[in-house]
Amino acid sequence: MINIVIFGAPGAGKGTQAQLLAEKFDFLHISTGDLLRQEVAMGTPVGLRAKAIMDRGDLVGDDIVVALLGRALETRSTHPNPEAQLDQWDVERKGMPRRPEGCIIDGFPRTVQQAQTLEFLMRKLKRTIDCVVAIDVPRDELVRRIHERAAISNRSDDTADVIRHRIEEYDLKTKPVLDYYKVSGRLVTVDGSEEISRTNNRICQIINLVSHLKNER
């Protein structure tokens, strides 16, 4: 099983790429942004606390995000994913759905502290983050993409001021995470300014390589 983090600024295409990769490689996809939006949609106490923070474009506290991620990692990677389409043949053969072949995390870590916490969470599950794929997109293009998404999505954090603030938060708190993974030799950067399919092909090559090297060990 390999574990990958998809990293990038708001608008870099993390969610889109993570979804495509999860389908192609049969990976479990965990997006902390999606986990938070689910809590907001369900109107849970956590969701109510998170909504105001997300609407400002600030980072939600680690107490909330780490708890949601920890729960998703523990339950969804060891038990059937309730949202997943079950492969009927597998269900009939083994009496249970397939376990995912790997895990792809998007939206986490967003601070160096979170990167350290992720190491801890993975160690508890006897796993490691094998590779961090950073999607690099020039600033102007990021802003253009989020504005384009804002026109079709109903995300309350896709407004001009909030977009600006989310990018500031990324520069200040999230970018230093790149050094954390660079120093530990697990960072690969891909050009995300190209078409979605080209960037996706490039990431697929990287994942195949990581998987091959891991199997050789």
Interface residues with ligand AMP (CB under 6 A) are: 10, 32-33, 36, 53-54, 57-60, 65, 107-108, 110, 114, 157, 166
CB contact at 8 A, 133 and 4: yes
Question: Is 88 or 151 the residue whose CB approaches ligand AMP more closely?
Answer: 151
Question: Is 102 or 166 the residue whose CB approaches ligand AMP more closely?
Answer: 166
Count CB-CB contacts under 10 A for residue 130: 19
| CB hemisphere CA count around 113 (13 angstroms) | 7
Residue 60: closest CA among 164, 169, 179: 169
CB contact at 8 A, 118 and 181: no
Output the smallest distance, CB 216 to ligand AMP, in A.
32
Question: Is 5 or 211 the residue whose CB approaches ligand AMP more closely?
Answer: 5
CB contact at 8 A, 187 and 181: yes
Output the smallest distance, CB 131 to ligand AMP, in A.
18
Question: Is 33 or 100 the residue whose CB approaches ligand AMP more closely?
Answer: 33
Backbone angles phi, psi at 4, to 5 degrees: -125, 145
Output the smallest distance, CB 210 to ligand AMP, in A.
22
Question: Is 100 or 107 the residue whose CB approaches ligand AMP more closely?
Answer: 107
Structure tokens at 11: 């608008």
Output the smallest distance, CB 182 to ligand AMP, in A.
19
Output the smallest distance, CB 6 to ligand AMP, in A.
10
- The span from the CA of 5 to the CA of 169, in Å, is 19
> Which residue's beta carbon is nearest to the bound ligand AMP?
33
- Residue 134, SS3 per DSSP: strand
